[in-house]
A and B are shown apart, each in its own frame.
Chain A
Amino acid sequence: MSSPAESRRAAEPRRPAAFSVDDPNVVIGPGPAAEPPRRVARAEAPRPFASVAVQPAAPAIATPAAAAAVPIASVAAAEAAAARPATPSRPVPWGLMFWGSAGGLVVLGLALSVIDLVADLYGRSGWLGTLGFVLAAVAAVAFTVIAGREAAGLLRLKAIDQVRDRAAEALASDDRAAGRAAVTELLTVTRHTPTLERARVRVQFHLNEIIDGRDLVHLAERELMTSLDEEASRLVTNAAKRVSVVTAVSPRAAIDMLFVLGSAIVLVRRLALLYGGRPGALGMARLMRHVVSHLALTGGLSVGDSVVQQMIGQGLAAKVSAKLGEGVLNGLLTARLGLAAIDVTRPLPFSALKRPTIQDLAGSLVRAPERDAAAPPAAARAATAE
């Protein structure tokens, strides 16, 4: 039976120690050391320091207390373990199963018919059969490559989403490790953007310094996203302008619609490429879905800040001409879609930098008819960026 002081000492963390720098065991460098604090911290983390902490009972009666504590703890752990798989009761993905198996059947049918065809061709003549076989092989290889690219594109989009989630987490918790992880992933995602080379080197350098999670993410956002954001605003503004002009001059409503749709897809694709994604056809479909659902979510929110101006703008424009009014409306729609696409494709949430507003992106559309209106400063900035 040990005295309380002794048992406390045994449970205690490591003692202070001094070493010579020549000691081979000393590794100088900022690399993350083993972090025993983290392990313990996680166990106690949920308690904010503001609350009054209740000290655990003094370990004077260490043995019985410990003996009693162990089964309770293990029972609790077992309960927790039992509860865990039950909570995320995911529904069986019937839709996925259907499309997966149906697609498999179609591919099998195609393969079968191709094999039959090649066999028939061989039946006709030897060289015809060889040609058929070569064509089939090339098609198969090309299909594999395309599928691989699509998969890679999807993975990349997923990686960008993950970076954004991690960054948001680091912004909320201000945790150094989380911030570092998010920024490291961001550097990987933006690896292929040549214009960011210098900024990436700078951020890489800051990764080794003692900077807290939120500050590090802000730093990375300012360094890496500033130029991309400007470019993105420019893309959206140009698309919006083009759409409004084409709508205003086009003779047929059907042409307008096609053009609006086409330029929306092109815009989303360009934004995705700009921010480091490279979506294929599947990736684009996924992105468009996200953009539209994001638009539905945020549309209601952003109505408040710009609806008045839209109404005024449209009203003025409509007075000049109904067709011009339609053009402005379509342009605004494109700008709004672009804004949603920026939110979806940008690998970091807007935090240190200002999120562009509809006025920044499409201010010139609304302002164009009312020549004498004073330019809002943000719109002026967007205009000078061109």
Chain B
Amino acid sequence: MASFVTDMVDRARLAARAIADFGENLVRPTVRIGVTGLSRAGKTVFITSLVHGLARGGRFPVFTPLADDTILRAYLAPQPDDAVPRFEYESHVRALVGDRVWPDSTRQISELRVVVEHKAGAAPGQTRTLTLDIVDYPGEWLLDLPLLGKTYEQWAKESLALSSTGPRAALAATWHAYNAGLDPVASADEQVAITAAQLYTDYLRSCRAERYSLSLLPPGRFLLPGDLAGSPALTFAPLALPAEAAPPEGSLWAMMKRRYDAYKDIVVKPFFRDHFARLDRQIVLVDVLAALNAGPAAVRDLEFALASILDCFQVGRRTLLTSLISPRVDKVLFAATKADHLHQVSHDRLEAILGRMIERAANRARYAGAEVDVVALAAVRATREARVRCNGDELPAIVGVPAAGERAAGHLFDGEREIALFPGDLPADPERVFDLGPGGFNGLMASSPDDAEFRFLRFRPPRIERTVDGLPSLPHIRLDRVLQFLIGDRFQ
């Protein structure tokens, strides 16, 4: 009953904000772009490159409003929320271009507002503005969204089942051993809870190593606690629970359950409500290549993680009624990031693999009337293309500087030398990379870096020379197509 009431209150609050937004939208047209992606999917680089391109009038031939000079200029404006840090656009650009390193992984939420001034109508001299609101946040937090619909019991059961499958079983062994000795109906003990949470966190962390690259690792704040570290809301773990429904008063089970609910209320709900419940357009960035590096189990894991996250979003055709009561995303773009780690001849296959991965979410969006597209994207293109003659064959390769410490095909790279890399042929049948059986491919999980079937290295950002006109726009692959899809229709 209580949850029903809070649910109603939440909905009412959401509707109130939607109406306020609707009113504001009439005065100041705004597009809220939801940049969705798990950690290391490339959200920060995407936002940086997008803003840089818009502000500098970058080379976006496919983005019509910029190509035909409808857009006059774009500039950063103070963001709407005073409590949220500003997206450090300038320092990210400096890191990319000056030091040629990718921005550090995002540790806190930040916000950015870009105002685009454009021509309006046929009459000359008439201008209008379009405001883009973009939020950057740690991708780990996204993993929490599916928890909103689950009780502690459901979550504990699923987490335990998941942790005993595939490569996870070995990683979770210590935690499993500890958990086996716990009695959920015994009286609550703070030290037990702390140890269990610690072991569970260690297990989640080890799943993230490049070799495994597993994705489905909730709760996200366990990996990136921020200022909540050590608080009771983060001190819980799944328990092996008996089938009966109600936890006894004062038991470990009851304590864990209470803390889980608190976590949802304190952490997950505000995050969702403030940043994801009211989106106009959504881009889902997916690092397919990291999962392909690791192996079929990582690919499957990514698929499940995406499916459960994408179920949380409201998508569908926008009508006057829905925009007043419950805002909806009417265009969803799925992007396989880091497409510059592949030669362009493989892009179609990468798109096919991503399409297969998000098939269910994409179909749901289509049925609800939203527009859906799938692209292979590189927000900042770090490589060039080349052909290599090798044993009478011509390999489509890419040329770039791998980051220090990367290994492939028997070489260890120092971060300075430029190489040509043939990363392997993606299969024509996307189904093959999802195959967990003996027909599946070899990833880092099962073999050494020199024996894996695909090797997608991390390349350093490209060398960009400053010209007299200042910094040129960053090279990219299909960023203009993404922009055209997301906001190209908003400049009439």
Contacts and interface: CB of A to CB of B under 8 A. Distances in A.
B241 interface: no
A30 B381 CA distance: 14
Interface in A144-166: none
B353 to A, nearest CB: 8
Contacts of A20: 417, 419-420
A16 B439 contact: no
Interface string A8-45: 10001111111111010111111111111110110110
A218 B62 contact: yes
B108 interface: no
A176 B453 contact: no
A376 to B, nearest CB: 11
Contacts of B211: none
A4 interface: yes
Contacts of B453: 12, 15-16
A16 B396 contact: no
Main secondary structure of the interface of B (DSSP, over half): mixed
A25 B345 contact: no
Given A15-B424, A18-B421, A21-B419, A34 B387 contact: yes
B388 A14 contact: no
Given A26-B386, A28-B399, A55-B439, A21 B420 contact: yes
Contacts of A13: 424-425, 427
B421 to A, nearest CB: 5
A14 B62 contact: no
A69 to B, nearest CB: 17
- A: interface residue count bin: 35 or more
A16 B388 contact: no
A292 interface: no
B355 A26 contact: no
Given A36-B425, A37-B349, A222-B64, A16 B454 contact: yes
Interface stretch (B138-146, B182-190, B321-329, B430-438): B430-438
Interface in B334-371: 343-349, 352, 355-356, 359, 363
Given A33-B395, A58-B439, A212-B478, A222 B452 contact: no
B4 to A, nearest CB: 38
A5 B438 contact: yes
A175 B388 CA distance: 24
A25 B394 CA distance: 9
A55 B418 CA distance: 40
Interface in B378-409: 384-390, 393-397, 399, 408-409
A20 B424 CA distance: 17
B466 interface: no
Interface residues of B, number: 62
A19 B420 CA distance: 5
B68 A215 contact: no
A253 interface: no
A4 B438 CA distance: 9
Contacts of B455: 16
Most buried by A among B345, B355, B417: B345
Interface in A203-231: 206, 209-212, 215, 218-219, 222
B76 interface: no
Nearest to A176: B344
Given A53-B429, A176-B344, A34 B393 contact: yes
A19 B419 contact: yes
Contact of A44 (B386, B426, B429): B429
Most buried by A among B387, B422, B454: B387
Interface in A328-354: 352
Given A30-B385, A34-B396, A49-B356, A211 B428 contact: no
B345 A8 contact: no
Given A16-B422, A16-B455, A26-B386, A210 B435 contact: no
A29 B386 contact: yes
A63 B389 CA distance: 33
Contact of A16 (B393, B417, B452): B452
Contacts of B418: 21
Contact of A215 (B343, B394, B481): B481
Contacts of A211: 61-62, 478, 481
Interface in A57-74: 58
A18 B344 contact: no
B477 interface: yes
Contacts of A176: 344, 347-348
Interface string B427-461: 11111000100110000000000001111000000
A232 to B, nearest CB: 19
A176 B435 CA distance: 29
Contacts of A95: none
B464 interface: no
Contact of B399 (A12, A21, A212): A21
B388 A27 contact: yes
Most buried by B among A8, A15, A53: A15
A380 interface: yes
Most buried by B among A5, A43, A222: A222
A113 B473 CA distance: 74
A50 B429 contact: no
Contacts of A21: 386, 399, 418-420
Contacts of A19: 388, 390, 397, 419-422
B419 A219 contact: no
Given A58-B438, A210-B344, A33 B62 contact: no
Nearest to A35: B345
A257 B396 CA distance: 63
Contacts of B430: 49
A381 B419 CA distance: 54
Contact of B352 (A4, A15, A32, A49): A49
A26 B420 contact: yes
Interface in A268-289: none
B122 interface: yes
A13 B359 CA distance: 26
A379 to B, nearest CB: 12
A377 interface: yes
Nearest to A20: B419
Contacts of A16: 408-409, 421-424, 452-455
Contacts of A218: 62
Contacts of B345: 32-33, 35, 37-38
Contacts of B425: 13-14, 36-37
Given A37-B425, A215-B481, A28 B61 contact: no
27 contacts: A8-B439, A19-B388, A19-B421, A21-B420, A23-B420, A25-B388, A25-B389, A25-B390, A26-B399, A26-B420, A28-B420, A29-B386, A30-B344, A33-B397, A37-B426, A38-B345, A41-B349, A50-B363, A53-B429, A58-B438, A176-B348, A209-B61, A210-B347, A212-B375, A218-B62, A219-B67, A381-B122
Interface of B: 61-62, 64, 67-68, 122, 343-349, 352, 355-356, 359, 363, 375, 384-390, 393-397, 399, 408-411, 417-431, 435, 438-439, 452-455, 477-478, 481, 484
Given A18-B409, A32-B345, 15 more contacts: A8-B439, A15-B453, A16-B422, A17-B409, A19-B397, A21-B418, A26-B388, A28-B420, A37-B425, A41-B428, A50-B356, A53-B429, A55-B439, A212-B481, A219-B61
